[in-house]
Structure 1
Amino acid sequence: MLHDYPKTTYGDTIADIYDLLHAGWDPTATVDTLTDLAGGGRALELGVGTGRLALPLAAAGTPVTGIDVSPAMLARLREKDPEGTVEAIEGDFADFTAKGEFAVAFAVNSLLQLTSLEEQRACLRRVREHLAPGGVLVLEEANPAAFTGGGLQVMNIGPDRLQLLASQYDPMTQQYRAQQVILRDGESRLSPVALRLTTPTELDLMAELCGMRLRERWADWRRTTPYTLESRQHVSFYDVG
């Protein structure tokens, strides 16, 4: 297994090329759904990173507060957002405080980066405390069934870069450890990833214990593709109970 490392490691090692690696991602469906859920209220993002989602969401008219543990990621966000359209908070979203209440809170492939049951549960408690009455939590997270095999995968091939993922999974602890290997411009870099692959039903139980109930679950943000065992991710919507 990979050695332990600080929570800031992933963001700090990849912040300068993060947007490039995700250049083909289209935020439209996610922004449209979150805008509708927010209904003119405020949104809270867990793991705001470089703002690849928070900035277009704010541009669509929803005030956004974003939390991230990586100083390098937040520095990149501030470069892209010099006017501070997105309120950025540096901190661990397992234990955070933000001003006011939010109509919607969301995480995109971030909650499972909290690698213990206690941290994930603590995060959901804090989210519940920050959601306004009638608020909604939306989680886009990995389907563990699609990621437990381990091994080596080719993630991206471009004219000037190659992205590989080497991974291991321990079913006893639900710990997933991986190294992204990025070859670009004649250079190579490693970006480690650590996740606790929490099942959707386990997330449902944790959310319920924190005062939120599952409303619906899909495989996409447009809510047109049913979630199945073969889906690579789920998009789950939780109402304040």
Structure 2
Amino acid sequence: MQGYRQSTYGDRLADIYDQVHHAWTPVDTVETVAALADGGPVLELGVGTGRVALPLARAGVKVTGVDVSEPMLAQLREKDPEGLVQTVLGDFIDMPVDGTFKVVLIVNSLLQLAGADTQRLCLQRVAEHLTPDGVLVLEEANPAVFTNPGLEVLRMTSDELHLLAQQYDPVHQHYFAQHVIIRGGEARLNPMTLRLTSTCELDLMCESAGLVLAERWGDWARSRPYLADSRSHVSFYRRAGA
């Protein structure tokens, strides 16, 4: 998508991100990650406005959050006046953090890296920051439910209209979208570009980083298997031999 940068999604959407995604609650995510951390520190890549990181920190987990979008981090800091979450501005390749973490959490953010090479480099950097008994937890979209082009109505009221325009490039596995919000006679465009990965490709990239799949589920509560029609999967990776 012409003119799109890694930070574009967060920069454009930061001020209304929580409002747009208000229907999603991270209760199961927080409970699962807190249990995996077991008192150890957590690193979240793509921390955004802190919708997972803040409840984790308030539960007593030490959380460091990395995001490439300063407006997103500004929203997080505004909600976190006590500074419970350590925020770091940076991308997932440089990953400007020190030390190791019991859990590295990535919720649909690996997909925002533009190619297989950058996704693979990110996973290698993650492995460098995991404790020997640490776990990488990834939520990713199921490509099968994101590859149909077209226009979708997300929300329609007497005052506003939300539309989602979608395209998919199967050669490069790129998904392009525009979330269009029309309100008060004005239209707001919120673009998004993802590189969708299959679970097989993801497993191979993790394997090259020394991480092996331990579990995969269709939800954060680990109550549903990941199936062909699942919207996303939650995958848990640990060091080979751990």
TM-score (norm 1): 0.96
Deviation, structure 1 residue 15? 0.4
**SS of alignment partner, residue 154 of structure 2:** strand
For residues 90 and 96 of structure 2, the distance between their equivalents in structure 1, rounded to whole angstroms, comes to: 9
Q: Provide the aligned C-alpha RMSD in A.
A: 1.2
Aligned to 1:148: 147
For residues 203 and 105 of structure 2, the distance between their equivalents in structure 1, rounded to whole angstroms, comes to: 15
Aligned to 1:190: 189
CA distance change for structure 1 residues 50 and 160 in 2, over 3 Å: closer, same or farther?
A: farther
CA distance change for structure 1 residues 32 and 191 in 2, over 3 Å: closer, same or farther?
A: same
**SS of alignment partner, residue 36 of structure 1:** helix
Aligned to 2:65: 66
- Identical-residue share of aligned pairs (%): 59
Q: After the TM superposition, which residues 169-208 of structure 1 pair with which residues of structure 2 at under 5 Å, given as runs?
A: 169-208=168-207
**SS of alignment partner, residue 87 of structure 2:** strand
For residues 59 and 186 of structure 1, the distance between their equivalents in structure 2, rounded to whole angstroms, comes to: 40
Counterpart code for 2:144: A
CA distance change for structure 1 residues 38 and 146 in 2, over 3 Å: closer, same or farther?
A: same
Q: Deviations over 1:23-54 (max 9, x none)?
A: 12111100000000000000010100011110
TM-score (norm 2): 0.96
CA contact (8 A) 1:95 1:122 kept: no
Q: Quick check: 1:116 aligned with 2:115? A: yes
Q: Quick check: 1:80 aligned with 2:87? A: no
Q: After the TM superposition, which residues 130-141 of structure 1 pair with which residues of structure 2 at under 5 Å, given as runs?
A: 130-141=129-140
Q: Deviations over 1:181-225 (max 9, x none)?
A: 112344321011001011111000000110110011111000011
For residues 214 and 158 of structure 1, the distance between their equivalents in structure 2, rounded to whole angstroms, comes to: 43
**SS of alignment partner, residue 124 of structure 1:** helix
Q: Deviations over 1:89-124 (max 9, x none)?
A: 000012213121100001111110001111100100
Q: Which runs of 4+ in 1 moved over 4 A?
A: none
For residues 153 and 173 of structure 2, the distance between their equivalents in structure 1, rounded to whole angstroms, comes to: 23
Q: Deviations over 1:147-182 (max 9, x none)?
A: 111111122345643321101111111111111111
- Stretches of structure 1 lacking an aligned partner (at least 5 in a row): none
Q: After the TM superposition, which residues 1-241 of structure 1 pair with which residues of structure 2 at under 5 Å, given as runs?
A: 2-158=1-157, 160-241=159-240
Counterpart code for 2:20: L
For residues 136 and 48 of structure 2, the distance between their equivalents in structure 1, rounded to whole angstroms, comes to: 18
CA distance change for structure 1 residues 159 and 84 in 2, over 3 Å: closer, same or farther?
A: farther
